[in-house]
DNA sequence: CGGCAGGTTCAGC
DNA sequence: GCTGAACCTGCC
């Protein structure tokens, strides 16, 4: 059992129970664009990562995760981390007062780096329903069957047999050749070098992959490599934060990573959530 | 039905 | 280095 002032987490053989829902909002955590592999199921969600699956739902006093692999999802949902503390630190920034309050239940998911590279190449200049569809079809096409009857995300080896035309047939559009190339570029060696590099150098390395630009690289670093010092700048960020001085994505990124440091990624998620779910509906 | 979607590439300065 | 046009596809 693990405890902090805001949350009590208990692991058992069938899953994980969380007491304290303030810093674990299931819908917000899954819905803020970090993962595309979840679907509604009754009063909760089925969530997949790599070759594992769980069912997660919000409960009266917290959340419940049912899974064969509690340790995996304990890490996946970062239940060893004190998001109450992170929230407190970010809330101290005046400009984050409203966004942090609205998004305090968001947690950054610890996901698989290879899965993140492929998924976020697909995400570029694309919409979420379509991204989810492409990822789902890719898993059905190339991933292994899992014990629960679903599909695992394909490994690099499982993607190698696919042709550019195969990716096109999955609906990937012009990203087909990027995916084909990425499966050849992103070897285990590439990934282990990536993990060993400081964030700035890891970012440069990711930018050598075709189809990976600054925004996608930051998403991979943040969601797949635990680099909290990244601040992905997308259309929402540009719209919410762009000013006369901060008039390019690179300037916005540099400004806010300098300001929020290792909590930049979480701050970005708070702002993204607020811009898309709160501000958009109140205007 | 045309614009848009959690951008990137490529060509031209 | 920086800027802008072109880009698959299917939701809204």
Over residues A188-213, the pLDDT tens digits come to 999 999 999 999 999 999 999 999 99
Strand B nucleotides where any atom sits below 7 Å of a protein CB: 4-10
A73-102 average pLDDT score: 97
Please confirm, yes or no, whether A204 is among the known catalytic residues. no
CATH 3.30.310.260 fits A2-80, yes or no: yes
For A149, left (φ over 0), alpha (ψ -120 to 50), or beta?
A: left
Contact predicate A70/A9, CB 8 Å: no
Check residue A6 and give its pLDDT. Answer: 76
- Region(s) of chain A under CATH 1.10.1670: 235-281
| Residue ranges matching CATH 1.10.340.30 in chain A | 113-223
Is residue A21 classed as helix, strand or coil in its secondary structure?
A: coil
| CA→C1' distance for A50 and B4 (Å) | 31
Q: How distant is C1' of B11 from CA of A233, in Å?
A: 24
Predicted TM-score (pTM) of the model is 0.97
Does domain A235-281 match CATH 1.10.1670?
Answer: yes
Q: Which nucleotide is nearest to A265 (CA to C1')?
A: B6
Give pLDDT tens digits for A7-51: 999 999 999 999 999 999 999 999 999 999 999 999 999 999 999
Tens of pLDDT, residue by residue over A143-186, are 999 999 999 999 999 999 999 999 999 999 999 999 999 999 99
- Within A 146-205, residues with CB less than 7 Å from strand C: 168, 171-175
**The Cα angle at residue A166 between residues A126 and A37, in degrees rounded to 5:** 45
Q: Which fold has domain A113-223?
A: Endonuclease III; domain 1 (1.10.340)
């Amino acid at each position: 059992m693990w405890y902090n002032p805001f949350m009590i987490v208990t692991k058992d053989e069938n899953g994980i129970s969380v007491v304290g829902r303030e810093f674990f909002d299931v819908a917000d955590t899954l819905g803020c664009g970090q993962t595309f592999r979840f679907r509604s199921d009754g009063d909760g969600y089925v969530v997949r990562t790599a070759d594992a699956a769980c069912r997660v739902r919000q409960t009266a006093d917290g959340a419940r995760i049912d899974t064969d692999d509690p340790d995996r999802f304990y890490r996946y949902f970062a239940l060893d981390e004190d998001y109450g503390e992170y929230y407190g630190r970010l809330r101290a920034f005046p400009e984050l007062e409203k966004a942090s309050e609205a998004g305090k239940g968001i947690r950054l998911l610890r996901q698989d780096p290879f899965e993140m590279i492929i998924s976020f190449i697909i995400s570029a200049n694309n919409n979420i329903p379509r991204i989810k569809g492409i990822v789902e079809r890719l898993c059905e096409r190339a991933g292994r069957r899992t014990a629960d009857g679903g599909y695992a995300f394909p490994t690099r080896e499982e993607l190698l047999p696919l042709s550019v035309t195969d990716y096109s047939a999955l609906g990937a559009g012009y990203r087909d050749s990027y995916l084909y190339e990425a499966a050849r570029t992103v070897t285990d060696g590439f990934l282990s070098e990536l993990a060993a590099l400081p964030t700035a150098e890891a970012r440069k390395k990711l930018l050598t992959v075709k189809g990976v630009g600054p925004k996608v690289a930051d998403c991979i670093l943040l969601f797949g490599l635990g680099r909290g010092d990244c601040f992905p700048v997308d259309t929402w960020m540009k719209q919410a934060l762009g000013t006369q001085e901060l008039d390019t994505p690179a300037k916005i990124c540099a400004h806010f990573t300098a300001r929020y440091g290792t909590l930049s990624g979480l701050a970005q998620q708070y702002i993204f959530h607020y811009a898309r779910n709160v501000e958009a509906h109140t205007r």
